[in-house]
Amino acid sequence: MRGFSSVDRGTEKIIYGWLLLAVMSLVFAGIFALLVAMARTPVVEDMLPLGSDYIYVALVGHVDLAVVIWFLAFEGFLWSATSTAHTGTALFSRNLGWASVLLSALGMGLVVVSAVFGLGPAELANYVPVLVTPVFYAGLVLFASGILLNLINTFLTLLKAKREGKVLPVLTFGMAVAGAAVFVAFLCFALSAYYQWATGKIFIDSERLFWGGGHILQFANTISMVTVWIYISRLVLREDPVSPSVAKALFVFYLFFIIPAPFIYFFIDTSEQAYKEVFTGLMRWGLGPSTAVFMLASVRKMFTAKRLWKDPAYSSLLLSIAVFLLGGVIALMISGVNTKIPAHYHCVIGAVTIAFMGLFYEVAPAFNRVLWSRKMAVVQPYLYSLGILMFAAGLYMAGSHGVARKTYGQEQNLNNIAKVVSMSIMGAGGLVAIAGGITFVLNALLTLVGRKGPGPGAVVDGEAAGCEKPWR
């Protein structure tokens, strides 16, 4: 089994840099989750910047780091790895590679600083909540610039591979489609900002700015998750859930709903309700079919193979599929504007996170890193998934009794026992999920910065391991 032996040392360090950046984003996301709790604690809340209003600032920091930055940074790792190690092609430009990592790291740093010190009021927009301060906006722009440079470098590397007569492997193809989705999402952000500016608006409406591109980013995240499902299936079960030709066709199907997105801005004003509805429709009809096929095929392979319940990658694959399926079922049962909506999307984004965490345990040895704790790796996927399921169940129950979304404290109007019990389940689930997240972050960070060892590298193109995995 090859690790990154097919790439030069400089490229391997760039790939490692993206993986480390992704893990660090979860470190800070966990810190902000703690700050959210502190902002609800009497006496302590008065010691924080902005007092009790700091909870909204901490929420912005947590959401952006745990969802936007964590996902895109891990996808940055996947783009760098699949375009080089999986194709046997040298990275187009190592200078461009390093610039992308450093720009994104600097951008993340500014986001963290602006949220820690509460440099501006919070605006809880969907998909990308913001702090209204130049420092935060600069952080977002720098991080996005790093991601964009990584995408350019990735596509130039793939073009180089094609010129060398190489056929793109399934994992590389899948991440290329995810990269195309991110590029389209950024274009949507730019078009939305331009049209708001062109209409003479003094203040940008963040909700409408990020609405269209935010929906397309969910395509990128879902496609990346499905690609990781295939990757884990190959690593653990030694076979793909579907054939390469079928997988590529399913990935192309996503593009039919991604590519038209920027043209919407030429026909529908962002201030119209139709703007929101059409992007919701794209996601509703575009994500389901291909993802369902991948899901069913993966489950079939898992239940016809040996059960590896103590393998964190195997359990992560199964749990990611189960949690994503629950999120889809909840989506079909949403009515009104209540906490059923966050119950749905916490399952969906939780499923992406579970898959990414599971893959980490498989790829970390590719950098000759010894897993810090085998026991923690075995327990962590179950702990985190249980927390997400409890959290979503509590939110769904609360929504069924009329609790509105995006309300906190007394605004939630918990005036009966059913609402109190539901939100208590949500709170308990949140604590369990945080414990699972901390377990992963601690194990992952200590693995990446810890002692080196002769562990096996990541599987590339399905080659078998030359030595036993460290947790078995």
Residue 388 belongs to domain with CATH number: 1.20.120
User: Distances in Å between the alpha carbon of 24 and those of 76, 377, 468?
Assistant: 14, 18, 28
pTM for this predicted structure = 0.92
Query: What whole-number distance in Å separates Cα of residue 143 and Cα of residue 106?
Result: 7
Looking at the domain assignment, is residue 436 inside a domain? yes
Print the domain residue range for 360: 308-465
Give me the pLDDT at residue 430, please: 87
Query: What whole-number distance in Å separates Cα of residue 290 and Cα of residue 4?
Result: 30
Instruction: Name the residue type at position 154.
Output: T
**What torsion, rounded to 10 degrees, do the Cα atoms 78, 392, 287, 168 define?**
20
Looking at the domain assignment, is residue 160 inside a domain? no
- Give the count of domains, the chain: 1
**Residue carrying the six token digits 């916490």:** 346
Does residue 376 contact residue 442 with C-beta atoms inside 8 Å? yes
Buried (b) or exposed (e) across 101-125, using 16+ Cβ within 10 A? bebbbbbbebbbebbbebbbebbeb
Looking at the domain assignment, is residue 244 inside a domain? no
Q: Going residue by residue through the chain (472 aa), what tens digit of pLDDT does each one get?
A: 345 656 888 999 999 999 999 999 999 998 998 877 666 555 555 666 666 678 889 999 999 999 999 999 999 999 999 999 999 999 999 999 999 999 999 999 999 999 999 999 999 899 999 999 999 999 999 999 999 999 999 999 999 999 999 999 999 999 999 999 999 999 999 999 998 888 776 677 899 999 999 999 999 999 999 999 999 999 999 999 999 999 999 999 999 999 999 999 999 998 899 999 999 999 989 999 999 999 999 999 888 877 788 899 999 999 999 999 999 999 888 887 788 998 999 999 999 999 999 999 999 988 888 899 999 999 999 999 999 999 999 999 988 887 877 666 556 667 778 888 888 898 889 889 999 999 999 999 999 997 676 544 444 444 333 333 332 3
Looking at the domain assignment, is residue 390 inside a domain? yes
Does residue 256 contact residue 286 with C-beta atoms inside 8 Å? yes
Give me the pLDDT at residue 266, please: 94
Phi first, then psi: give them for residue 452, nearest 5 degrees. Answer: -85, 155
Looking at the domain assignment, is residue 297 inside a domain? no
Phi first, then psi: give them for residue 130, nearest 5 degrees. Answer: -135, 160
* 12 CB-side CA count, 13 A: 16
Query: What whole-number distance in Å separates Cα of residue 356 and Cα of residue 98?
Result: 23
**Residue carrying the six token digits 């030069």:** 8
Looking at the domain assignment, is residue 228 inside a domain? no
Query: What whole-number distance in Å separates Cα of residue 373 and Cα of residue 442?
Result: 9
Looking at the domain assignment, is residue 1 inside a domain? no
**Angle at alpha carbon of residue 73, lines to 78 and 470, rounded to 5°:** 60
Taking the alpha carbons at both ends of the chain, their separation in whole angstroms is 17
Looking at the domain assignment, is residue 11 inside a domain? no
Give me the pLDDT at residue 460, please: 40
- The H or E element containing residue 123 is strand 122-123
DSSP 137-150: HHHHHHHHHHHHHH
**Residue carrying the six token digits 């007394």:** 410
Does residue 381 contact residue 355 with C-beta atoms inside 8 Å? no
Instruction: Name the residue type at position 355.
Output: A
